Amino acid sequence: MSPIFTPVTSVAPNITKVILAITGGIAAYKSAILARLLIKSGFEVRVIMTAGAQQFITPLTLQALTGNEVHTELLDTKAEAGMGHIELAKWADLIVIAPASANTLARLAMGMADDLLTTVCLATAAPVMVAPAMNQQMWAHPAVQLNVQTLSDMGYEIIEPDSGVQACGDVGSGRLPEPDILLRQVINFKARLTVAQCLTGKKVTITAGPTVEAIDPVRFLSNHSTGKMGFALARACRDAGAEVTLIAGGKVSLMTPLEVKRIDVLSANDMLQAATRSVEAGCDIFIATAAVADYRTRDAAPQKIKKTQDEMTLDLVKNPDILATISHSYPDMFVVGFAAETQDVEKYARGKLESKNLDMIACNDVSRKDIGFASDENAMLVFFANQYQKPPVELEKMSKANIAEHLVNLIGSVLN
């Protein structure tokens, strides 16, 4: 029996306690929604509001949303005999300042401690995320940009503002991202802090989803792949420190992971061209999770084929083997394949590992109804090329996100 893979413990304490700090700006209304989203995602939230923030949204609103008292004063005699800022600073696992006004950026950059927010930021050991929001001309001002660079150099995590129409009527960069985007930024930042950075500095190309081979303008050959496994791996590689390019086939409708470059393709030939360009641009690891159609029609009909006869024969030709082409063309690159089989899983997986010159292959039995295509869960057997002298690893049934994390750790263990 193959050994069961056990999860790698986090390299940093789990982030569960978040201080949401709100400063003065019309975008403060988005912070109320963000507070609720953070709580729904399992975070415990306490709120700090500056005097300016309270001109746009009331502390009572945030208290009702979080169930916790909102903190507004630096010298509060009711809070631990006047040392409430120290208690807050020690309590937090993470501080998120959203929105962060130009004034707040300047005071943080100068190391000032003249209100509750700036004092807590100086007194905490927790990481601080800053989401600036202001008029586009203010955002572009050299003084603001200098303050942002200073904060970044000091270790603050800067969330870049969005572009678009602003409350003042101007159009440009400076808008606070929408609450759901801010939540994803927080979750991604948490992952980077708590996941082993085993792929730091590596460039990874991943193929995901099905390919689509046209029969005519309205019909095509394809398969049941949804791309979930490939997208989960893209997130896991990003969280492990890699620069990720994700090539998605067959009109995959999944949301692109933040900070991942996505390229959409349709056919197997399209995917091979995109993969080749990505690898030639610089790539350390190639992961092929896409379910590439084995065959395509020799010539797709230019017009819709009419149903005029009882039988129809399609003239099919073999598609290029993307994985084998890439692995043999770039032998120095670490290449990972996937095998979805319905029988003799280990036999076929080992055969592909050798014939396609792979470093590692993960295979699953898609005849099982509880895992594989369209499912959020999977189970894998993982095999390695002989030169690595690693025994097979069995990943028992779990979420595809967890499977992806384990696969990335296995890749990291081989490379490092």
74 burial (CB, 10 Å; 0-12 / 13-18 / 19+) is: middle
Any known ligand binding at 322? yes
Which long-range contacts link 218-222 to residues 24+ away (Cβ below 8 Å)? 218/304, 219/304, 219/305, 221/293, 221/295, 221/296, 221/297, 222/250, 222/293
Cite the residue boundaries of each domain of the chain with CATH code 3.40.50.1950.
Answer: 17-193
Q: Is the pLDDT of residue 346 over 50?
A: yes
Any known ligand binding at 220? no
* pLDDT-above-70 percentage for the chain: 92
Q: Is the pLDDT of residue 250 over 70?
A: yes
- CATH superfamily label, 197-299+314-413: CoaB-like (3.40.50.10300)
Any known ligand binding at 5? no
Whether the CB-CB separation of 360 and 325 falls below 8 Å is answered with no
Cite the residue boundaries of each domain of the chain with CATH code 3.40.50.10300.
Answer: 197-299+314-413
More confident residue, 198 or 10: 198
* pLDDT-above-90 percentage for the chain: 62
Q: How confident is the model at residue 338 (pLDDT cuts 50, 70, 90)?
A: very high
What's the pLDDT score for residue 79? 53
Any known ligand binding at 30? no
Instruction: Please state the rounded mean pLDDT for residues 283-294.
Output: 95
More confident residue, 167 or 97: 97
What's the pLDDT score for residue 76? 66
Any known ligand binding at 332? no
How is residue 76 written in tokens? 């509060």
- pLDDT tens-digit series, residues 195-237: 778 999 999 999 999 999 999 888 888 888 899 999 999 999 9
Q: Is the pLDDT of residue 390 over 60?
A: yes
Q: Is the pLDDT of residue 7 over 50?
A: no
C-alpha 140/C-alpha 142 separation (Å) is: 6
- CA 78 → CA 64, 83, 325, distances in Å? 20, 9, 69
Instruction: Please state the rounded mean pLDDT for residues 63-90.
Output: 78
Instruction: Please state the rounded mean pLDDT for residues 49-62.
Output: 95
| Average pLDDT across the chain, whole number | 88
What's the pLDDT score for residue 393? 93
C-alpha 395/C-alpha 400 separation (Å) is: 11
Closest to 99 measured CA to CA, from 119, 129, 67: 129
Is the pTM higher than 0.75? Answer: no
Residues with catalytic function? 168
C-alpha 166/C-alpha 172 separation (Å) is: 8
Any known ligand binding at 352? yes
Any known ligand binding at 316? no
- pLDDT tens-digit series, residues 294-335: 999 998 888 888 888 888 888 899 999 999 999 999 999 999
- pLDDT tens-digit series, residues 148-180: 999 998 889 999 998 887 777 788 888 999 999
More confident residue, 173 or 139: 139
Any known ligand binding at 397? no
Q: Is the pLDDT of residue 3 over 50?
A: no
Q: How confident is the model at residue 12 (pLDDT cuts 50, 70, 90)?
A: very low
- CATH superfamily label, 17-193: Flavin prenyltransferase-like (3.40.50.1950)
Instruction: Please state the rounded mean pLDDT for residues 27-56.
Output: 95
